[in-house]
Amino acid sequence: MSVGIDKAAFYTSPYYLDLRTLAKARGVDPNKFTVGLGQQQMAVSPPDEDIVTLGANAAYQILLDEDIKSIDTLLFATETGIDQSKAAGILVHRLLKLSPRCRVVELKQACYSGTAALQMAMDQLRVNPSRKILLIASDIARYGLNTAGESSQGGGAVAMLLTANPRMIAIEPEAGFVTEDAWDFWRPNYRDEALVDGKYSCDLYLKILREAWQHYSEQSNRDYDAHQHFCFHIPIPRLAEKALQKLALINGKEKPVGKALDAACDATLEYSRTIGNCYTASLYLGLLSLLDNDNADLTNHRIGFYSYGSGCTAEFFSAVVQPSYRNVRCKAFHQQLLKRRRELTQQEYEYFYNFSYPRDGSSLSLPKSSTGRFRLASLNQHQRHYKTNEAPCVLQSVPVHQAS
């Protein structure tokens, strides 16, 4: 019996900022972003969009009535939590009208917690294969305006229905993992923006890759050539490319460059190049990008996954693509969502960024800017209130409220 991802979808903001626009505003060479980071655009969430609406909108695309009735666990992975106590998944549970006979919990360990949730769910399914588990990884990457990290923002969610005998990918039981106490990236409770030591974080990401791979190799007895594809955590696309080169060298292979590197990486990075960093969701956005954009038949191909969470914990594991994966893809939805997005001006981006929620419990009705089925409608007495749009359409064009 196999266990894994039966179906999955991502959702992201209908607004984006072109990094050439950001480069012009900051007085830097656009190549610093488009070439140096390998990034073209970044998603920008409007005020009425948060990790709850992103996650609920992603999950809505994959759930049928029978799934809603059968799901008995909702795992919500994020490092953009909206409450120190209440799990964001509780709010998603209500929006999706899941059964009250359902466990809900929020998991946190930087960008790694989506993988932690996945592996916990796999263990549960191996014991009880009749279950259905919904996993949502949802984040909004936020750094300070005019800081070094500003160009590597973004946001989005990936929702996965986890089952026995999955139709998309089967997760293999062997995994390699490692933890090391490090201050490469963190966000204290009193800050809205993360703190990061960029060079150290990138170096640590690559260092821990070697250790996680070695542990995985010991557990699985698989070598580099046993994998047809690799997906990496993608804080920026260029770092994922460096990770593949590093992994090849670790295994005594020739370092892929030029067309060889593009052939190995482009399909997995296509979505991230236009969405940006999704933290817990980024690894799985890479998976969906591969399944949607690689035109070859990937049936029975093995994918190696490297999941990294700053602070830090990392894991290397693998999965095998199932024969019916094309039947459960949301490729058309994903590509239409990206195609219909609206480009922001620098002024509009900074307006969205600087929009602040009340911290004294006062009431605020939010302007309607998001276009998904679910939106954050208001805040009152320190509580967030969500609505289901009467005529939801993720593809419509909505005017952006201008800064005064």
The two tokens of residue 117 are 């949730």
Is 174 among the catalytic positions?
A: no
Catalytic residue among 93, 233, 241, 330: 233
376 forms bridges with which residues in the sheet? 386
Tokens 């911290």 sit on residue: 359
Closest Cα to residue 135, out of 3, 320, 2?
3
CA angle 120–122–126, rounded 5-degree value: 120
E strands within 274-347?
A: 302-309, 313-321, 342-343
| Amino acid, res. 115 | T
Catalytic residue among 102, 111, 202, 278: 111
Q: What is the 3-state secondary structure (H, E, C) of 354-385?
A: HCCCCCCCCCEECCCCCCCCEEEEEEECCEEE
Closest Cα to residue 358, out of 381, 375, 387?
381
What residues have CB less than 8 Å from 237, skipping those under 6 apart?
37, 38, 39, 265, 269, 272, 273
C-alpha span between 78 and 34 (Å, rounded): 27
Strands 154-164 and 41-43: unpaired
DSSP classification of residue 285: H
| Amino acid, res. 265 | C
| Amino acid, res. 46 | P
Tokens 């009705």 sit on residue: 365
Half-sphere exposure of 362 (CA within 13 A, CB side): 6
Strands 195-196 and 103-107: unpaired
Is 233 among the catalytic positions?
A: yes
Active site residues per annotation: 79, 111, 233
